[in-house]
Amino acid sequence: FIDENLSSTKRYEDDKLLTKTMINNYTKAGLLPPPEKKKYSKDHILMLVLIYYFKSFISISDAKTLLDPLKENYVGSDNGLSLSDFYKDVSTEEVFCHEELINDLEQKLEHVKKNIKATDGKDENIEYKQLFTFISMLSYDIFTKKRIIEDLIDNIDDFLPEK
């Protein structure tokens, strides 16, 4: 399931998505609940998808902080709260984000092509300069959003009900 659904996220064909060792380490670290009778449930698979996604840009420690309330309130819950429903809601919003992201990328690229020109008519490698500028803009965006994510995780208790 994981390989089928996340293979499009691999950069190189031989990249490993998730290994047994990784899954065991996530369980030992408390990110993933232990399997029930050596079997993984749908909730386990959804948690693994989230772990895989988050570990690409936040620390395992931050991922644990973010996922602990989810694990406590939704995984195997008998209080009517379903991890599957929670995940579905989040996924629906990601579709909106994807469309916004495409628009943002197109605007940034258009901006770069319009504003980054050869300096003083010199024969520069303008395509490289535009590419470098575009990558720098995206990098700044990622850096800023990563810092915001880290700050939100650092203050996650402000967003949780008191126990």
Does pLDDT of 18 surpass 90? no
User: Taking the complete model, does pTM exceed 0.85, yes or no?
Assistant: no
Q: How confident is the model at residue 163 (pLDDT cuts 50, 70, 90)?
A: low
At 15 the pLDDT is 72
In angstroms, the Cα distances linking 37 to 1, 2, 34, 41, 124 are 19, 20, 9, 10, 64
* Domains of the chain, residue spans: 2-159
